[in-house]
């Protein structure tokens, strides 16, 4: 039985927002005694019925440990789990051996830092990042750089949030050992020109990692065509469960890497004299995995495929334009991140109050946004602000959410003025 079948949703004929929204039970949850406008999607997305059903179905009818047992439930669990890997690989246009299951984008990046880069890193080497990276795409590189006597270098961001490509190229030097950058900035919404950047890095014979945490739910993506060596993302930002994610890695990269974590499943044989390793990707999946996480992600991919990522992208783009115009109507509000072609993330500050207070006032009016540094402290420094308010869009948002945000912002302004 195909593990992903129970969760498949029929494709809507066009973008039917009311129907899509009805798939997400939590969106009908009253908050602060009123309607919820959920605009914190860059932090995590809500889950559709089909994902909730897939998780429930797994625990009710298939729960068992995978790979090693012969009994019926274990076989069902293994079929569902490995079926999910097939589904995920097919969705992104790559081979199943190239899909390493992780706890999320953060773990995927750490895996590459420790298992791939660290053994190849020498004193004086450089790892090229950009100023817009999430801490998860900065700190793992700093940790391995410190061990090897190497260093992290970051390319500049322009005032509108675009990557300064001239600066990035200038910092791509003979000392560079690996290049890593976000596909989409979680704070600015900037979409980096990843195809061209991958080509430039690989033309210099260097490996490239893309942090896709903010891209996978919003843009069509063919990982084979993109050609990056590594691409990491989390299921929970893609309508799937928390605590699960994927590291895509080219097979030859995985084959050339030593394991990172040791334990069950990642071995072929173990003795006190020494151990040998399982084939890829299992060599990098030590211990009992998050079985339901894989099944939940496959269900989430079925869900977004049913709507179509092109349709989702177009819907969110239209919403972003509307949201930008609505925010412009609020006196004293300054948007941070206005790069052309950006994704549905709106970071802003207001002259009347600290972002934290604005977030709290919005919450009282049923608007869920994020405030703070968004795990991008260097970017906050770059823009000279301690924090921002961030509204981020998803496939189930509509004009009503934006109207609620706009109304709440005007009221908040009157409150603090």
Contact residues for ligand PLP (CB under 6 A)?
104-106, 134, 136-137, 182, 186, 211, 213-214, 234, 375
Instruction: Specify the DSSP class assigned to residue 229.
Output: S
Choose between 9 and 392: whose C-beta lies nearer to ligand PLP.
Answer: 392
Choose between 5 and 44: whose C-beta lies nearer to ligand PLP.
Answer: 44
Token digits of residue 24:
């997400």
Q: At what angle do helices 399-416 and 355-364 cross, to 10 degrees?
A: 120
| Smallest distance from ligand PLP to CB 317, Å | 19
Catalytic member of 31, 375, 377, 385: 375
Phi, psi of 270 (to 5 degrees): -130, 130
| Smallest distance from ligand PLP to CB 255, Å | 25
| Smallest distance from ligand PLP to CB 108, Å | 8
Choose between 46 and 106: whose C-beta lies nearer to ligand PLP.
Answer: 106
Task: Provide DSSP, 81-115.
Answer: HHHHHHHHHHHHTS-GGGEEEESSHHHHHHHIIII
Choose between 79 and 375: whose C-beta lies nearer to ligand PLP.
Answer: 375
CB neighbourhood size of 209 (10 A): 28
Choose between 182 and 395: whose C-beta lies nearer to ligand PLP.
Answer: 182
Q: Evaluate the omega torsion of the peptide bond into residue 281 and state whether it is cis, within 30 degrees of 0.
A: yes
| Smallest distance from ligand PLP to CB 198, Å | 17
| Smallest distance from ligand PLP to CB 35, Å | 26
Phi, psi of 274 (to 5 degrees): 160, 165
First to last CA, the chain: 61
Class of residue 14 by CB neighbours under 10 A (exposed 0-12, middle 13-18, buried 19+)? exposed
* 352 part of the active site: no
Choose between 6 and 104: whose C-beta lies nearer to ligand PLP.
Answer: 104
> To which residue do tokens 């953060």 refer?
106
| Cα–Cα dist 114/144, whole Å | 7
CB neighbourhood size of 329 (10 A): 10
| Cα–Cα dist 230/234, whole Å | 14
| Smallest distance from ligand PLP to CB 109, Å | 7
Distance of CA 140 to the CA centre of its chain: 16
- Which residues are the active-site residues? 375
């Amino acid at each position: 039985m195909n593990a992903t079948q129970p969760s498949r949703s029929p494709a809507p004929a066009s973008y039917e927002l009311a129907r899509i929204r009805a798939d997400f039970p939590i969106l009908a949850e009253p908050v602060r005694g009123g309607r919820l406008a959920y605009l914190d999607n860059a932090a995590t997305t809500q889950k559709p019925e089909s994902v909730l059903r897939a998780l429930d179905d797994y625990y009710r009818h298939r729960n068992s440990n995978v790979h090693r047992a012969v009994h019926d439930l274990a076989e069902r669990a293994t079929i569902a789990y490995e079926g999910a890997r097939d589904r995920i690989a097919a969705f992104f246009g790559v081979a199943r051996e190239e899909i390493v299951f992780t706890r999320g984008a953060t773990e995927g990046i750490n895996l590459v830092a420790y298992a791939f880069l660290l053994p190849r890193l020498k004193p004086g080497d450089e790892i090229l990042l950009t100023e817009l990276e999430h801490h998860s795409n900065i700190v793992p590189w700093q940790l391995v750089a410190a061990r090897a006597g190497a260093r992290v270098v970051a390319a500049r961001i322009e005032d509108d949030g675009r990557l300064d490509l001239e600066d990035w190229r200038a910092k791509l030097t003979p000392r560079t050992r690996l290049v890593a950058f976000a596909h989409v900035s979680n704070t600015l919404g900037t979409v980096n020109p990843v195809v061209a950047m991958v080509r430039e890095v690989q033309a210099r014979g260097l490996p490239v990692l893309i942090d896709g945490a903010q891209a996978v739910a919003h843009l069509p993506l063919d990982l084979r065509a993109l050609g990056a060596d590594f691409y990491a993302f989390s299921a929970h930002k893609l309508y799937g469960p928390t605590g699960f994610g994927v590291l895509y890695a080219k097979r030859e990269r995985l084959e050339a890497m030593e394991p990172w974590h040791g334990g069950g499943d990642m071995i072929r044989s173990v003795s006190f004299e020494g151990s040998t390793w399982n084939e890829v990707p299992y060599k990098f999946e030590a211990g009992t995995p998050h079985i339901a996480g894989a099944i939940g992600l496959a269900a989430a991919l079925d869900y977004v495929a049913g709507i179509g990522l092109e349709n989702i992208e177009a819907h969110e783009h239209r919403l972003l334009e509307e949201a930008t115009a609505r925010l412009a109507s609020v006196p004293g509000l300054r948007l941070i991140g206005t790069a052309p072609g950006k994704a549905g993330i709106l970071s802003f500050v207001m002259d009347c109050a600290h972002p934290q207070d604005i977030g709290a006032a919005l919450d009282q009016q049923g608007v869920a946004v994020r405030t703070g540094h968004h795990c991008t402290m260097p970017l906050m420094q770059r823009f000279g602000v301690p924090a921002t308010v961030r509204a981020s869009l998803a496939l189930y948002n509509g004009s009503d959410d934006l109207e609620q945000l706009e109304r709440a912002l005007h009221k908040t302004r009157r409150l603090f003025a």
